[in-house]
Amino acid sequence: MLKTFSKGGIHPPENKFSVDKAIEVLPLPQKVSIPIAQHIGAPATPVVNKNDEVKTGQIIAKSAGFVSTNIHSSVSGKVVKIDKIVESSGYKKTSVVIEVKGDEWVETIDRSLDLKKEITIEQSDIINKILDAGIVGLGGATFPSHVKLSVPKGKKAEILIINGVECEPYLTSDHRLMLEKGEEVLVGTKILMKALGVTKAIIGIENNKKDAIEHLISLSKEYDGIEVNALKVKYPQGGEKQLIQALINREVPSGGLPIDVGAVVHNVGTAYAVYEAVQKNKPLFERVVTVTGDSIQKTSNFIARIGTPVSELIEAAGGKPDDTGKIVSGGPMMGKALNSLDAPVTKGTSGILLFPENKAHRKETKPCIRCAKCVSVCPMGLEPFLLMTLTQKRLFDKVEKENALDCIECGSCSYTCPADRPLLDYIRLGKSNVSQIIRSRNKK
């Protein structure tokens, strides 16, 4: 029996079309717009001005607080404006727009592709290096990585977990990365272990990536303390709490963090970025993005510079099919629908997913038949139907009592509902209202 988490979960069709497509380097765009808020926490403060010349890898916005990180230019060229620009969400966000001229990198970056195995960096410098390189969780949550590595006083990290689960259907970027940059991922894992001072790390990979599991198992023999575990294919195994439970059978307490059970979770993409930052001195300004969809010509995995418009990626994958009805940034379960192709690739963009018109729409909402399927699939043991009803009735104190804040917004409930009710939409609403209530209560 393969390991997996205990509660709930679903198994949507995997549809990993781009799984055998090697990672390609996307041609440089003409212009990039780099938002200064690509991570959870305070937006970075721009340190360049209009008309400044910047180089690839040069810092353009500085971390503004502990939970924040640096932003680097992903191209070389001239800053044409720093302005509020309509972002993928339809809201305007401050971005740095750079017109591309050539591709001149900052000199300190080691551009060679040679593998550098020896870790010479001091333990105390690793966190600073990661902050300098602007690394965030590349699984999609974009939580600044240095924060996760700074273990709070009184807590002790015992084990590092590397998330190679990629439980979202369609996406293959982590899978390709593990296959093609397996060794680098392992070195990155070693660096993270050193930063945390732990001797054990587990890489969890779902069993639908057998080639990646075999590849990493054979490589990991040379690396002490790194173990590769195959996991049963079940969504949302990539959720931190679910993954920890699946691999080491510890339950993160409600409202707690993984460090409360001695675990720290990082994505394989993050491990690779850490390798590049520490060993090659290269900040995070590009990432692997899967471009896929049911009717797209050439599903691909690209290395794209941050700030590249989504339209360029779609163009490189054979153009936007005429029947496109919805474009999603990220996976189909947790990704965000885009309303404009001009939206830039950000640090959290793991994939661009094009749905044809016939799959772009939700089904009509029907009355709840109390089948309790949402209860049985909820990985957090919540009652989605109840949270939705309570939210609709605006009984937010009850929503809070029903542990709405534990919801990880995996979408399993909405996915599985036979009456196609927008359960998660309302749970999110309930959560945001509950957080507001808690905030105002704390103020008092």
Partner 1 sequence: MSTQLTISPSPHISADSSIPKLMYGVIIALMPAFFVSIYFYGIGALLITFTAIVSCILFEFLIQKYLLKSKISISDGSAILTGLLIAFNVPGSLPLWIVVIGSLVAIGIGKMSFGGLGSNIFNPALVGRVFMLISFPVQMTSWPKPRILDFSFTDAITGATPLALVKEGLKNGEQFHDIISKAGISYSDMFIGNLGGSLGEISALALLIGGIYLLMKKIISWHIPVSVLGTMFVFSGILWLTNKNIYADPVFHLLTGGALLGAIYMATDMVTSPMTPKGQIIFGVGIGILTILIRAFGAYPEGVSFAILIMNAFVPILNIYTKPKRFGEIKIQSKE
Partner 2 sequence: MSPVVIITIISLSSIGIVSALILYFIAQKFKVFEDPRIDKVEEALPSANCGGCGFPGCRNFAEACVKADDLSNLHCPVGGNDTMSSVASILGMDAVAQVKKIAVLRCNGACEYRPNTNIYEGADNCTVAANLYGGDTGCEFGCLGLGECVEVCDFDALYMDEKTGMPVVVEDNCTACNACVEVCPKDLFELRKQGPKGRRIYIACRNEDKGGIAKKACAVACIGCSKCVKECPHDAITIENFLAFIHDDKCKLCRKCVPVCPTNAILETNFPPRKPKPEIKKEPVVDLKQSIVAEGKVNEPEAKNNSNKETSDNN
Based on the shown chain and the rule CB under 8 A, indicate whether residue 436 belongs to the binding site for partner 2: no
Based on the shown chain and the rule CB under 8 A, indicate whether residue 222 belongs to the binding site for partner 1: no
Distance in angstroms (rounded) separating the CA atoms of residues 171 and 299: 10
Distance in angstroms (rounded) separating the CA atoms of residues 36 and 38: 6
The residues in 229-248 that bind partner 1, with binding defined as CB under 8 A, are 241, 245
Q: How far is the CB of 131 from partner 1 (least distance, A)?
A: 27
Q: Which of 338, 352, 388, 390 binds partner 1 (CB under 8 A)?
A: 338
Q: Which of 361, 394, 432, 438 binds partner 1 (CB under 8 A)?
A: 361
The residues in 317-356 that bind partner 2, with binding defined as CB under 8 A, are 336-337, 339-340
Based on the shown chain and the rule CB under 8 A, indicate whether residue 385 belongs to the binding site for partner 1: yes
Q: Residues with Cβ < 8 Å from 39, sequence gap 6 or more? A: 68, 69, 136, 142, 143, 144, 347, 348
Based on the shown chain and the rule CB under 8 A, indicate whether residue 197 belongs to the binding site for partner 1: no
The residues in 168-187 that bind partner 1, with binding defined as CB under 8 A, are 169
Choose among partner 1, partner 2, none what residue 91 binds, the Cβ cut-off being 5 to 8 Å by kind. partner 2
The nearer residue to partner 1, 125 or 357, going by C-beta atoms, is 357
Q: Which of 62, 194, 232, 336 binds partner 1 (CB under 8 A)?
A: 336
Based on the shown chain and the rule CB under 8 A, indicate whether residue 389 belongs to the binding site for partner 2: no
Based on the shown chain and the rule CB under 8 A, indicate whether residue 372 belongs to the binding site for partner 1: yes
Rg (CA), the chain: 21
Q: Which of 15, 89, 376, 389 binds partner 2 (CB under 8 A)?
A: 89
Strands 59-62 and 45-46: antiparallel
The nearer residue to partner 2, 311 or 433, going by C-beta atoms, is 433
Q: Which of 327, 387, 390, 434 binds partner 1 (CB under 8 A)?
A: 327
Q: Which of 92, 298, 366, 401 binds partner 2 (CB under 8 A)?
A: 92
Beta sheet of 71-72, edge-to-edge order: 45-46, 59-62, 71-72
Written as one letter, the residue type at 419 is: A
The residues in 392-431 that bind partner 2, with binding defined as CB under 8 A, are 394, 422, 425-426, 428-429
Q: How far is the CB of 155 from partner 1 (least distance, A)?
A: 10
Q: Which of 104, 183, 227, 406 binds partner 1 (CB under 8 A)?
A: 406
Q: With CB under 8 A, what is the number of residues at the site for partner 1?
A: 74
Q: Which of 77, 335, 348, 351 binds partner 1 (CB under 8 A)?
A: 335
Q: Which of 360, 395, 405, 437 binds partner 1 (CB under 8 A)?
A: 360
Choose among partner 2, partner 1, none what residue 227 binds, the Cβ cut-off being 5 to 8 Å by kind. none
User: Using CB under 8 A, which of the segments 83-91, 131-139, 172-180, 400-408 binds partner 2?
Assistant: 83-91
The nearer residue to partner 2, 321 or 422, going by C-beta atoms, is 422
Alpha carbon dihedral 98, 99, 102, 108, in 10-degree steps, equals: -10
Choose among partner 2, partner 1, none what residue 432 binds, the Cβ cut-off being 5 to 8 Å by kind. partner 2
Q: Residues with Cβ < 8 Å from 171, sequence gap 6 or more? A: 16, 290, 292, 330, 331, 350, 351, 353
Question: Residue-wise over 392-427: b if at least 16 C-beta within 10 A, else e?
Answer: eeeebebbbebbbeebbbbbbbbbbbebebebbebb
Choose among partner 2, partner 1, none what residue 401 binds, the Cβ cut-off being 5 to 8 Å by kind. none
Q: With CB under 8 A, what is the number of residues at the site for partner 2?
A: 19
Residues that bind partner 2 (CB under 8 A): 86, 89-92, 336-337, 339-340, 361-362, 394, 422, 425-426, 428-429, 432-433
